[in-house]
Amino acid sequence: MSKYGSKRSFDLEWVERWARTVNDDRILPVVGRFFTAKFVLGVDDTQYLVDVQNGKILRIAEGLAPNDMGYDFGLKAPSSAWAKFSQQIPPPMFNDIWAMAHPLHKQLIIEGNTLKFWQNLRALTRMLSLMRNVYNSSARDVA
C-alpha cells in the first residue's frame, strides 16, 4: 500500500461511521455552532443526504425522497476522488474540497446554494476532514 492508502467503498455503513466520528468531535460544536444545513454527499451515482444542525449530523439517508424537501448544496465526486480525499495523507489536488472543485481540477462539483457552502466552509472543511479518522479506525479494526 502506498503512503496515500488504498481505495475503499463508501456505503451507508461507512457514511454512518463518519457521521458518528463527526458527532464525537469536540471542535465542531465550536466552529460549527451556526452550521445548520442539509447537503448531499454524492459518491458516483449514490446521493447521501446529510442533515446538519449546529455542527452535528442529525440524520443521514441513502438517496433522496420527496419529504426531504430538497437540500441546500451538494458535493458530488466519483468514489475514486473521495477515496483519495479521505486518505490519511491525501495526494496533491485531492487534499481539500475547494482544491478538487477548483476550475483547474474539476474533480468535484459543488451544486445548489453555494452561498451556504461558502458561509460554512471552515466547519465543513473540518467535518469532511474527519473522513480521514474513519479510515484510521477501520484500519485498526482490520488489523
Q: Provide the binding-site residues for another protein, judged by CB under 8 A.
A: 89-90, 92-93, 95-99, 102-105, 114-115, 118-119, 121-122, 125
- State the minimum distance, in angstroms, from the CB of residue 84 to another protein: 12
Residues 6+ apart with CB under 8 A from 133: 21
Whichever of 42 and 90 has its CB closer to another protein, that residue is: 90
Whichever of 12 and 99 has its CB closer to another protein, that residue is: 99
Sheet of strand 109-112: strand arrangement? 56-62, 46-53, 37-43, 73-77, 109-112
Q: Percent helix, strand, coil in the chain (nearest 5)? A: 40, 20, 35
- State the minimum distance, in angstroms, from the CB of residue 80 to another protein: 17
Helix (H, G, I), strand (E, B) or coil at 19: helix
- State the minimum distance, in angstroms, from the CB of residue 13 to another protein: 26
For residues 104 and 10, give the distance between their C-alpha atoms in angstroms, rounded to a whole number: 26
Whichever of 49 and 77 has its CB closer to another protein, that residue is: 77
- State the minimum distance, in angstroms, from the CB of residue 29 to another protein: 16
Q: Hey, what amino acid is at 77?
A: A
For residues 76 and 6, give the distance between their C-alpha atoms in angstroms, rounded to a whole number: 20
Whichever of 21 and 49 has its CB closer to another protein, that residue is: 21
Whichever of 59 and 118 has its CB closer to another protein, that residue is: 118
- State the minimum distance, in angstroms, from the CB of residue 4 to another protein: 10
